[in-house]
Amino acid sequence: MLFVASGALSLLDPSAAYEKLLTPALIALYLSQVVVFAVYPRFRRREGGLNGADVFVAAAASALMLYGLYTVL
């Protein structure tokens, strides 16, 4: 019921609704990806072998997601 009501309210000003919903969605996306990239080296160590490339790629990907989070906030 709340979802239907919010959908009807968003028809009044679609661009404002888009702006208000975009920021929380992007924050959730970037945070979830940071968690995945930060845990990847631990997974690689447990599964086979952790090497420097794995750590570098995980650090670079985490830095990119943190930069995205910084730009959204």
Number of residues in the chain: 73
Tell whether the model's pLDDT for residue 9 goes beyond 90.
no
Q: Please report, for the chain, the start and end positions of each structural domain, with discontinuous segments joined by +.
A: 15-72
The answer for residues whose C-beta is within 8 angstroms of residue 2's C-beta and 6 or more apart is none
The Cα 57–Cα 61 span in angstroms is 6
The Cα 34–Cα 61 span in angstroms is 8
What pLDDT digit, counting tens, does each position of 32-72 carry?
999 999 999 999 999 888 999 999 999 999 999 999 999 99
Q: Give the pLDDT of residue 8.
A: 82
Contact call for residues 44 and 12 (beta carbons, < 8 A): no
Q: Give the pLDDT of residue 37.
A: 96
Tokens 């906030």 sit on residue: 73
> 69 is written with which tokens?
């989070």
